Structure 1
């Protein structure tokens, strides 16, 4: 009789939601592409996340990643972290994005737990809607 164990994962912080678009790149070398837009409560938190995540470079030459902070619609500040992936195969794309999302979850968890301004922004967003 075998038993199945499940690994508990922490829930993502409440102040972050993400949107993703996937497309095929016209480049033959990197035909698989994915863009993630991760909104933050303010530009400072987006910038901190960008700096923290930019340190880890992609290990495979079969994957390219571009991290930028962009302005959200109706905003003048760069509060959205945009991550653009291009990869040689769907599998390489999946592995790279999976690794990135684990790193992002850690950055968000630290921001939520240790950054007083992040907690205040979370409460302000909750009060607005």
Structure 2
């Protein structure tokens, strides 16, 4: 637990972004595409996880239930947090657009377009 406290002390500004996707396959594809780009600044830490949208679901029991891409940012300043999250949102937009175009319009069907 000491490492967590040290990270929280050194990187006091944080944000968790949860992106629900229709399937585990799409969430995994988005995760793999996004995590390739490393954080450029040592003043920012970022971590990813695939989660179930239902908090009562045991994530370890059912891999297919993990359809939410969760990204946690921690930064030394609120400005560094904002800059990093802005870059992430740009990348996320590109990844979701590619998924929509290449995955037989799955996202369009889910959104009721």
Which category describes the TM-score, using the shorter chain as reference length?
A: 0.7 to 0.9
Match of 2:87 among 82, 99, 124: 99
SS in 2 for 1:103: helix
Q: How many residues align?
A: 101
Counterpart of 1:8 in structure 2 is none
TM-score in terms of structure 1 length:
0.71
The structure richer in helix per residue is: 2
Question: Secondary structure of 1:35's partner?
Answer: strand
The Cα of 1:120 is off from its aligned counterpart by 3.7
Q: What's the offset of the Cα at 1:79? A: 0.2
Deviation at 1:125, TM superposition (A): 5.5
Paired residue for 1:31?
A: 12
Aligned to 1:54: 35
Return the TM-score normalized by structure 2. 0.81
- Per chain length, whose mean CA-contact separation is higher, i.e. which structure has more relative contact order (CA < 8 Å, sep 6+)? 2
Following TM superposition, where does structure 1 have runs of at least 4 consecutive aligned residues deviating by more than 6 angstroms? Answer: none
Residue from 24, 31, 45 that aligns with 1:64: 45
Correspondence 1:123 to 2:104: no
Which structure 2 residue ranges, 5 or more long, are not aligned? 1-5
Superposed CA RMSD: 2.2
For 2:110 and 2:10, the matched residues in 1 are separated by: 45
Unaligned runs of 5+ in 1: 1-24
CA distances 1:31-66 after superposition (whole Å, capped 9, x unpaired): 100000000011100000000001001011100000
Q: Choose from 13, 17, 40 the match for 2:21.
A: 40
